[in-house]
A and B are shown apart, each in its own frame.
Chain A
Amino acid sequence: MASIELRHVSKHWGPTIAVDRMNLTLEDGEFVAILGPSGCGKSTTLFLLAGIYAPTEGDICFEGARINDVEPRDRNVGIVFQSYALYPNMTVLKNLLFPLRFKNTSNEDAHARAMEIAELVQIEDLLEREPSQLSGGQQQRVALARALIKKPNLLLLDEPLSNLDATLRLTMRSEIKRIQRELAVTTILVTHDQVEATTMADRIICMKDGQIEQVDTAENLYRRPDRIFVASFVGSPPINLVQGRIDKTMLVAGQRRLPVSGNTVSTNVTIGLRPELISTGEQGLPASIVNIEPMGREILYAAQSEIGLLRFLEATPQPRLALEEHVHLKADPGDVLFFDTGSGQRIEGVRLDAFS
């Protein structure tokens, strides 16, 4: 198993920059997710690691050794493509044996490995089938088995669940996690679905426009996002963002002034507050309900307050509040996050004194 390192890696396609000076270190056996909107360079990063693309600049290192010029076939990387990329002209068994064909594995050994791995991903009954005769979930399992059969140093999963239906996605999510834990193989999952990332990975790399926004655990991405983008991308329903300005010891937002303390610098700020951290009460920020969206277990309300539009969640099956009803919004002032509007960076050490 290898510890994997990207040092200042960039990939340019003509004038467009897919990956921009990326630095990253992965530990042995770690499960990392790359999370980001489409076109942010997450798949490119994956293909750089697999050796399908060569970096424009920077070094890719496995166990400290630079492997930029090592051919994909020599990197011992297993990859599961979004389309699964099963070889249509081969049976499932032949698909599984394909990676061993180029390593001097004896026939018996290869078959034994195939059986072992087929058992692990539970496709023992499908070995003689053609890929076209398999369902989406089965194809997914075969692709996973094919990536794992050569005991890769690194397993790369490119949006592996996006072609599955919702229930199957749920089972495959835990299946992949179980298999990864059993084999302790270093794994990188590329996804645009935050639920996939948070449920499966130990650490999440949040990417935007070819750059890493934040590398952290799911909890930290949610609680202490470093940047506005991370705050808005992680969490569902999305975080409330309100534009404002810090003026000495006051936060000016909309028509309201709220006291702040800490090392305040007068600047334009964006404040973020998660909908699930807002509740209603006797006192607090006055607002009126402008929209009600029942989401099954919870109700998502939108309320117009003096600082701006705020969404909040209430865990009741039926709407308790009515449109245009006047309410007071409550929140722990410590939950309010401050971001520098210009740089998008979170401002630490600034605290809201009261949310009212």
Chain B
Amino acid sequence: MALTQRDWNVLARRSRNIRHVQMGLLVGFLTIVSIPVVLPFFWVFVISFSARTGGVESAVLWRACGVLVPAVVAYVVVHLTFDSIRKRLFGAAVLILLVMIGLIVTVGKDLHLHNYRFLANANLIEDLRGAATAGGQFPWVWEAFVNSLLVAASSTLFKVSIATVCGYYLSRFAFYGRSAFLQTLLILEVFHPWMLTIPIFLVIYWIGLLNNLAGPILVLTVIDLPFFIFIMKGFFDAVPWDIEMSAMTDGASRRQAFRHVVLPQVWAGIIAISVLGFIRGWEEYVFVTALRTGNSYWVMSTYLYYVADDVMGVDYGVVAAVSVFYMAPSLLLYMFLQRNLTQLTLGGIKG
């Protein structure tokens, strides 16, 4: 059967339409699925800037959503109507401008920074509830922030350096018990570390690191190590032997070959596990709580918990503001290094 020019055009149009509908359905589905994920973050954000006197002004939330939801729908329409990237970007810019104006009109006068006063006020809880309730134990947020940073950064440093060296050794050297060691690493991943809370507490108590930040740092380092070693081994496995041998015949010692030639090949892996390790340390709650017996040290998670936990009634505005402050570093780290994180599977699966 011979097809005329007209028939070809019909077929082409039909397939274009089908593609459009499919893409529209996909975008719609993903939007609906992501709403429960994104909305809480959005609410926390809005509450932190709008809540007054302890209560949550839900009207502000709904008004803000009333501006944003149509905007998202409008962007979907823009995306489906225009094919060129420039037009889509222009549409997005216009929508963002409209959203800004809409938000200023609808909720603009409700926005304020009062909930963020904890950043400047060292005696927040005393101000909120009176000196008697807190007993003067509650720290300034920056102290918790620095402690969290210390826990996250130093445990990351330990984990990453040990995992790198171990991964290299496992990848490159044959030694007695190598495969048993690798299997043990995997088996360790089966057990959730929280199951070990009590033994860990005892060990830390015996070595005298209770109520000391070194405790959680040590424990966090050890917990992530098996997995990180495994990831790094995968990355080192992907580096060809030839390159290393070549460096050694070129006059480098094994250590120099490692530093100048092998290490640069696994940077992606190191960055990936560094981000993961940092976020794990930054978020840590269970072990920092378990390894202190009073309020000997504060980190961000315990600070947030204390702000949110009160029988007298909670100031949700402050809780939201602390949450946003707590989230910010992880979020920034993730945004900047996201590309490196996606490479994780690349090295990881080679086990």
Contacts and interface: CB of A to CB of B under 8 A. Distances in A.
Interface string A60-84: 0000000000011101011101110
A88 B265 contact: yes
B251 A102 contact: yes
Interface stretch (B37-45, B253-261, B302-310): B253-261
| Chain A CB within 10 Å, residue with most, of B245, B248, B251, B261 | B251
Given A47-B245, A52-B245, A89-B264, A83 B252 contact: no
Interface string B193-227: 00000000000000000000000000000000000
A54 to B, nearest CB: 13
B247 A87 contact: yes
Given A88-B265, A89-B264, A81 B252 contact: no
A83 B242 contact: yes
A99 interface: yes
A73 B265 contact: no
A150 interface: yes
A223 interface: no
Contacts of B245: 47, 50, 52, 72, 79, 81, 85
Nearest to B263: A89
B243 interface: yes
Contacts of B7: none
A98 interface: yes
B249 interface: yes
B177 interface: no
A12 interface: no
B240 interface: yes
B243 A79 contact: no
A150 B251 contact: yes
B83 interface: no
A75 B249 contact: yes
B249 A98 contact: no
A79 B242 CA distance: 10
B108 to A, nearest CB: 51
Contacts of A51: 249
Given A98-B260, A102-B256, A85 B251 contact: no
A103 interface: yes
Interface string B25-64: 0000000000000000000000000000000000000000
Given A88-B265, A89-B264, A89-B265, A99 B242 contact: no
User: Contact size class for A?
Assistant: 20 to 34
Contact of B251 (A50, A82, A86, A103): A103
Contacts of A248: none
Contact of A73 (B240, B242, B248): B248
Contacts of A99: 250-251
Contacts of A177: none
A119 to B, nearest CB: 20
B246 interface: yes
A79 B256 CA distance: 18
Contacts of A47: 245
Contacts of A79: 245-246, 249
B248 A52 contact: yes
Nearest to B257: A73
Contact of B242 (A81, A89, A101): A81
Contacts of B252: 73, 98, 101-102
A146 interface: yes
Contacts of B264: 87-89
9 contacts: A52-B249, A73-B251, A73-B252, A73-B253, A78-B249, A85-B240, A85-B242, A86-B243, A102-B252
Given A73-B248, A81-B242, A85-B242, 9 more contacts: A71-B248, A79-B249, A81-B246, A83-B242, A88-B264, A98-B250, A101-B252, A102-B251, A103-B251
Interface of B: 240, 242-243, 245-253, 256, 260-261, 264-265
Please provide the 4 A-B residue pairs with the shortest distance between their CB atoms, ordered closest to farther: A102-B251, A85-B242, A89-B264, A85-B246
